[in-house]
Amino acid sequence: MFRKFNTRYTVKDGNWFDKNIWRGNGCKKYTYPQPGDDVHIDHDITFDYTNNPNAPSISRSSIVGNTIHNLYISKNGAYRTTNLGNQVTIFITGNVQCDGVFDLSNGSSGVVS
């Protein structure tokens, strides 16, 4: 059975992997956006992979990838990367609408395909 794609909304500032910053129509099993999900950011969100116990286990030398469908960042929102021991790539397979901050300056790359 395939997983239904979901829409995730931020409810407060925090780390991408913190289950307490996300609300959505998704299964409780997934605590942060999963591949194919639509993401709406209205807060200051940091993708801090290396200091997060909820992040999937991937070696620090690996490239960490995150794939989502659509990304919407409001004028009050920010997506930032920080504290990376490796390269982080965000793959966006749909649309990007950014009225806020989309900062990939800390060893990251972004791909919209």
Model pLDDT for residues 43-102, shown as the tens digit of each residue = 999 887 665 555 555 544 444 567 889 999 999 999 988 755 556 677 888 999 999 998
How crowded is residue 17: how many other Cβ atoms within 10 Å of its Cβ? 20
Q: Which two tokens stand for residue 65?
A: 């990838």
pLDDT of residue 36: 87
